[in-house]
Structure 1
Amino acid sequence: MRQLMHRPGLWNVVILLLVACLPGFIWQPHQATAVREDYRSPMAPVFLVPGSSATQNRFNDLVNQLNQSSKNKHSLLRVEVMENGHLKYSGQLRHGDQRPYIVVGFQNHRDGYANILKQAKWFTIAFKALQATYKFNHFSGMGHSNGGLVLTLFMEHDLAKTGAKADRLMTIGTPFNLEVSDPDKDTQLFKELTADRDRLPRQLIVYSIAGSKTFTGDGIVPFDSVNRGKYIFQGRVKGFTQMTITGADANHADLPENQQIAELIQQDLLS
């Protein structure tokens, strides 16, 4: 055997085999990484975030409305994030429900720039806890009013740290420039959202909906503030669509119960 192994021809065969196998050894770890990145968990929850002064019960009627108009009934879990970061749960996720609704509300649901930033961080706490429990790696989100700001800030600042992917985002009456109606005045929040827009997930599809009670806004949020979403999302995500809802229940507070919006949620967010 020792004499055979010293033959030049046999050594050449061994070297050729090693060289032939080398690309496979290099490619295999890359393939495993790619498979992990492409894997999509069966569960893809829909996060609902209310605006200021609203609690985790804000979307009870909306979820009932969505379930009544769909053959696929989805469960509802409500989470309240306390100021100390603790979480309170109500409702439950039905076993096997792959598209449950999860409402995240806040004990401190006051308005204001500083508080919105805090709520975005509280949302991250809830998201990470739910992700650890339910093992999902992608999701969609809907935010009414400041809830849309919370989700946008989360996607810019903290989403990448979770390893999850955002599929779709719908904002309803979201004041991206707060309550400022002057098109020449930029709030600090708007400056921050535009400064960090390159951090938004590239594959995200976004729908921004404005309500029309008057010719200038929905009674609370000016059109210009909602329409500024285009400066944040357009060209930074896979798709961006702006829509305006008029008619009954088009004022700011009633938008989540608006029949047209419920249909848009079914069509664009849940499909």
Structure 2
Amino acid sequence: MLSEHQNDRAIQKARMEPVIFIPGSSATIRRFDDLIDTLNSESKAENAHSVLKVQVEKDGSLTYSGHLSSSNRQPFIVVGFARNEDNYPTIQADSQSMGKVMSELQSKYHFRNFSSIGHSNGGLIWTDYLENYYSSQSFHIRTLMTLGTPYNFSETSLTKKTTMLNDFIEGSDNLPKDLNVYSIAGSDDYTDDGIVNVQSVLSGKYIFQKKVAKYTQTTVSGDNASHSDLPENPEVVNLIRELILQNKGKNPRTNANKLKNVTNKNDRPDN
């Protein structure tokens, strides 16, 4: 086992920058399998992203499957929770558990930099973690991307803020100031994605605007834009590739305007 000093040196020298995924309520650690298969199908075998899955059991213990390759600069880590009910207390509890998960992952793999993706309530867990536990750990998060995340739960009006949204707004000063945040909403009819109301997703602006380096709202619509399909939506996959894997969000030549309202190429305006 490395001493604390040796571990600190290993963290500082680490080239690994994993992308860490959290699925939504009632979803398992297999939630992102199709997305990961799509991303890896574009790479040569030797350049494929290795995948580690971490299950947080109800007693707080961690179960690992898969592996991380030391040759990968951007391996994938999926963190799922056995306790994953759709309510605010569960999100808070899973966020606290995420602090333990991150500490254990760092002690095993010695990385400091990472990016994150959360689908649905997974984005809420990331938000709560960043506000309440991140600053006490020796990490640097580059990008947070949330997919269909209901920052105001089931409320359809931006004037009615839930306790959770108010808590997030109150704690937003704790967010990393250099963070890039991309909030992606899905829409069948520009109202909701079949489960989450678009206005609830857009209420993330009250949390992140003027608190982080960049906050961008994006809407995908048309085919494959329903809530459960968002992680496999071709436009979403393309955004993950460009903004997280290729880190083009920091390139001033990137056309940021195209991120304001992304429409699926299969969108049929006559429907």
Which structure 1 residue ranges, 4+ long, deviate > 4 Å from structure 2?
Answer: none
Q: CA deviation at 1:113?
A: 1.0
Deviations 1:206-234 (A, max 9, x none): 10100011231111111111001111111
3-state secondary structure, aligned to 2:91: helix
More deviation in 120-129 or 170-179?
120-129
Task: Give the 5 Å matches for 1:215-230.
Answer: 215-230=190-205
Deviations 1:52-99 (A, max 9, x none): 110111111110101112454110000000121100011111232121
3-state secondary structure, aligned to 1:67: helix
Q: In the alignment, is residue 253 of structure 1 matched against residue 228 of structure 2?
A: yes
Which residue of the other structure, out of 34, 51, 58, is the alignment partner of 1:61?
Answer: 34
Q: Partner of 2:73 in structure 1?
A: 98
What's the % identity of the aligned pairs?
43
Q: Partner of 1:207 in structure 2?
A: 182
3-state secondary structure, aligned to 1:53: coil
Query: Partners of 2:213 and 2:160 in 1: how far apart?
Result: 28
Query: Partners of 1:187 and 1:92 in 2: how far apart?
Result: 39
The verdict on how the C-alpha distance between 1:90 and 1:39 changes in structure 2, with shifts beyond 3 A counting, is: closer
Q: Partner of 1:26 in structure 2?
A: none
Q: CA deviation at 1:126?
A: 1.0
Q: Partner of 2:253 in structure 1?
A: none
Give the CA RMSD over aligned residues: 1.4
Which residue of the other structure, out of 5, 12, 16, is the alignment partner of 1:43?
Answer: 16
Q: TM-score, with normalisation over the residues of structure 2?
A: 0.84
Q: Partner of 1:24 in structure 2?
A: none
Q: CA deviation at 1:40?
A: 6.5
Gaps of 5+ in 1: 1-35
- 8 A contact 1:40–1:138 mirrored in 2: no
Aligned residues: 235
The verdict on how the C-alpha distance between 1:66 and 1:131 changes in structure 2, with shifts beyond 3 A counting, is: same
Q: In the alignment, is residue 139 of structure 1 matched against residue 114 of structure 2?
A: yes
3-state secondary structure, aligned to 2:212: coil
The one-letter code sitting in structure 1 at the alignment partner of 2:70 is H
Greater helix share, structure number: 1
Q: CA deviation at 1:51?
A: 0.1
Gaps of 5+ in 2: 1-8, 247-271
Q: CA deviation at 1:109?
A: 1.4
Query: Partners of 1:86 and 1:257 in 2: how far apart?
Result: 30
The one-letter code sitting in structure 1 at the alignment partner of 2:231 is P
Q: Partner of 1:76 in structure 2?
A: 51
